[in-house]
Amino acid sequence: MSIFKYSFIVYVTVSIRCGYCAWLSCQHRSCQWLVIIALVHLAGCASTPEHSALEVPQPNATLTKLVSYALSLQGAPYRYGKASPTEGFDCSGFVWHVYQQQGIVLPRTAQAMAMQLPAVSKYAMHSGDLVFFNTTGRPFSHVGIYVEDDHFIHAPSQRTGEVIISTLKNTYWHQRFMGVRRP
């Protein structure tokens, strides 16, 4: 569409107060050019860049299936050293089992997972990423699977007794947060 068609549309449809007269229907060239220049700038804002620096990768079907499976295990019993729905899970056993069900092999301990997997900014995390915490005075002593909206699923402890969903906004987890890794 040419600049002349834009100016006609603006001239007919937009009401802008002119400093010299009543409305855009004025014949002052300065008013008409001001509107045309504004419209050209706005048209530029409406275009979409080819590449966006803020693009966040969308979870693929495997991750969606993985997170859905993890959520289906909510309520499974906590058992230290275990990694199955029938026997129960500890934190790393839970993560290890969920990923194994999708054909992805991870180390068995939280610390080994944190050391072997690539780090991801907490601002770039998405469903299926692993979130790590310091719960025992040792870095990377606890792990969970990020779900979405600051929620993660994990097998926290004997005290809670089962696989649960928690929020990173909870003071306890927020203060102990160590980082994110992507399998």
Domain borders along the chain are: 3-46, 61-181
Alpha carbons 57 and 124: distance in angstroms, whole number: 9
By annotation, the residues acting in catalysis are 91, 142, 154
Higher pLDDT, 158 or 18: 158
Each residue's pLDDT tens digit, 122-135: 999 999 999 999 99
Q: Which pLDDT score, from 0 to 100, does residue 113 have?
A: 98
**Cα three-residue angle 23-25-27, rounded to 5 degrees:** 110
pLDDT band at 32 (very low <50, low <70, confident <90, very high): low
Please check the confidence at residue 142 and state whether its pLDDT lies above 80.
yes
Q: Decide if domain 61-181 falls under CATH 3.40.190.10.
A: no
Q: How far is CA 12 from CA 5, 24, 120, 169, in A?
A: 11, 9, 52, 52
Tokens of 54: 């803020």
Each residue's pLDDT tens digit, 81-117: 999 999 999 999 999 999 999 999 999 999 999 999 9
In this structure, what are the phi and psi dihedrals at residue 151, rounded to the nearest 5 degrees? -105, 145
